Structure 1
Amino acid sequence: MKFGIVARRDREEALKLAYRVYDFLRVSNYGVYVDKDTHENFPHFSPKDVLPLEEMDVDMIIVIGGDGTVLRVEHKTSKDIPILAVNMGTLGFLAEVEPAETFFAISRVLEGDYFIDERMKIRVFVEGITVPDALNDVVILSGVPGKVTQLKYYIDGELAEEIRADGLIISTPTGSTAYALSAGGPLVDPRLHAILLVPLAPVALTARPLVVPDSSSIDIEVSTEREIILTVDGQFYTQLLPNLTIRIEKSPRKTKFVRFSKRIYPKYTLKIKKKF
């Protein structure tokens, strides 16, 4: 097997653990490559093993960091490479492994004692603009803070809602624990095949979150004279011209996480309680 290693760049503990993992795999005669940004923040890796994340062609990427680091990897790799995520963030909803369990988890991987948890992603279609797929969410925001945006969204061609709000979050079940939850959206089991639409600070309190099948095609009409901002997973941002339509559909791509337990709720609910 060939491994890639990516660490959270602003935490020395994560960078040091990344080096220990790198050294362990190299001594064990496995191919191992280190993300260029990780090396720049901890220049102790062999330069010959350093690659830009976009160029990594490996069997698995070991990510040592929080959810933001996992999302950065997702947005910079063009292939659906399985991710083993070690939690060096605040909560780490996307990570199953705690730092103290790192080498035990790697040993299980080397023995083939793991399974792949596939998570759905959503794809955005905007005329003339290439937008990356989202693992967590796509957010449409007013380009002027404090100004509301007029939005209509259609589900499979039928008008579902018309709102005036600060924006709209379109989320996967995986992203239901992120921005969508803070905006009043429901927690959705990541095993469900669904897409969430959560209004951001709607003027009318009757505008409620909506959950639709992931087979749905969602068209969002933005009726405003101001520019709007489109964000994807907090990693990609672009400004869009006013009065346009955005289409959201399930992506053919999936994110693959390395897992060791099929029990979701013990860790899932514990992290929710810690956050709230």
Structure 2
Amino acid sequence: MEKLENSKVNKKNKVEKVRIIKSGYGNEDLLKDFYNYLKERNIQEVFGVEQADLIISLGGDGTMLIAAKEAIRGNIPVLAINMGSLGYLAEVKPQEAVQMMQDYENGNYKTEERSFLKVKYEDNVFYALNELVITKGGHEAHLIQVEVYSNDAFVNKYRADGIIVATPTGSTAYSLSAGGSIVHPGLNALTITPLAPQSLTARPIIVNGCEVLSFKATSRDDAVHLNIDGNQWFQIKKGDLISARISNKKVKIIKPVNSDYYSILRQKLKWGDSVL
């Protein structure tokens, strides 16, 4: 199993320029001390990610997805401050932001690497931190049929509202709500989760992330869509080529030194709580 980098001894970091990505919905008053800290330390905000020493995400996990895709352009680490509600990836609270910046500069932090899904659609390449979804076009659309292949070997044919192909990071997002398994982020694996399948025997499956998955999707009304991380949509035509596999591109997320994956599952997702 691929290990997360949580146990690495981290170096001290001199932060002079940061790229800040905001959701636009957070309470900026909660960040007054944080902005004062940046000003006092003469840390400049830049808008070209290639110029930044650190990317700071201010929002929830949706903002973190945007920050992650910017980060891979320059292999720049991301510090995610939770201005939303759940904050599964963005676990640092606003009142902890100054301390977390100091800890990062002093080398007192953990680096957690998360893999991207590399998606090829026709001649275009996209990267998803969470998932790709092949789905029917609307609530009045017919069920679609998706054939899944792994390294050209036939896997299964799903007649359903669609399928989700999730990374380990995405296993706790849309895929989980659709009945998919939680997958540890240190695994090189993908989860295929059907959406409201016609067959009761169509269950989620976890496959090797090194395998190249390819898809053939059709419907009676030609209403099939490809959704990448919830923010990129394409209407799929019959015969369009779609494939995906785990990428060697990763995003480095700065975490508190006491961050623990299983603790986050219990706290954020109420994993293991009694239903009574």
TM-score (norm 2): 0.85
Do the aligned residues in 2 keep the contact of 1:228 with 1:242 (CA within 8 Å)?
no
Partner SS state of residue 24, structure 2: coil
Amino acid at match of 2:250: K
* 1:56 shift after superposition: 5.0
Q: Distance in 1 between matches of 2:75 and 2:127?
A: 12
Aligned to 1:266: 263
Q: How far off its partner does 1:247 sit?
A: 0.7
Question: 1:245 aligns to what?
Answer: 241
Q: Measure the CA separation in 2 of the matches of 1:83 and 1:19.
A: 20
Give the counterpart of 1:211 among 206, 209, 218: 206
Tell whether the 8 Å contact from 1:66 to 1:95 is kept in structure 2 after alignment. Answer: yes
Q: Which has the higher contact order (CA 8 A, sep 6+)?
A: 2
**Cα offset for 1:96?**
2.6
Counterparts of 2:240 and 2:203, CA distance in 1? 23
Corresponding residue for residue 134 of structure 1: 128
1:233 to 207, 229, 232: 229
- Of 58, 62, 66 in structure 2, the residue corresponding to residue 72 of structure 1 is 66
Cα deviation, residue 203, structure 1: 0.5
Q: 3-state SS of the aligned residue for 1:202?
A: coil
> Matches of 1:94 and 1:237 in 2, distance apart?
23
Partner of 2:101: 106
Contact 1:85/1:257 (<8 A) preserved: yes
* Identical counterparts, % of pairs: 35
Q: Which runs of 5+ in 2 are unaligned?
A: 1-14
1:159 aligns with 2:154: yes
- The one-letter amino acid paired with 2:24 is R
CA contact (8 A) 1:222 1:245 kept: no
Q: Is the 8 A contact 2:68 2:78 kept in 1?
A: no
Provide, for residues 176-205 of structure 1, a one-character-per-residue CA deviation record: whole Å limited to 9, x for no partner.
Answer: 111000111011111211111001111011
Q: In structure 2, which of residues 22, 33, 37 is the aligned counterpart of residue 7 of structure 1?
A: 22
Aligned to 2:39: 26
Give, in whole Å, the separation in 1 of the partners of 2:267 and 2:32. 30
In 1: Cα distance, 2:251 partner to 2:32 partner: 25
Following the alignment from structure 1 to structure 2, what is the Cα–Cα distance between the partners of residues 122 and 271?
A: 24
Hey, what does 1:62 align to over in structure 2? 56
Q: 1:55 to 1:257 in 2, by over 3 A?
A: closer
The code of the aligned residue for 1:71 comes to: L
Is the 2:30–2:95 contact (alpha carbons within 8 Å) kept by the matching residues of 1? no
| Cα-to-partner distance string for 1:33-60 (whole Å, 9 max, x where unaligned) | 1xxxxxxxxxxxxxxx5x2xx6552111
Q: Kindly indicate whether the alpha-carbon contact (under 8 Å) linking 1:223 and 1:244 is maintained by their aligned counterparts in 2.
A: no
| Residue 76 to residue 227, structure 1, CA distance change in 2 (3 Å) | farther
Normalised to the residue count of structure 1, the TM-score between the two structures is 0.85
**Cα RMSD for the two superposed structures:** 2.1
Q: In terms of mean alpha carbon deviation, does 108-117 or 262-271 score higher?
A: 262-271
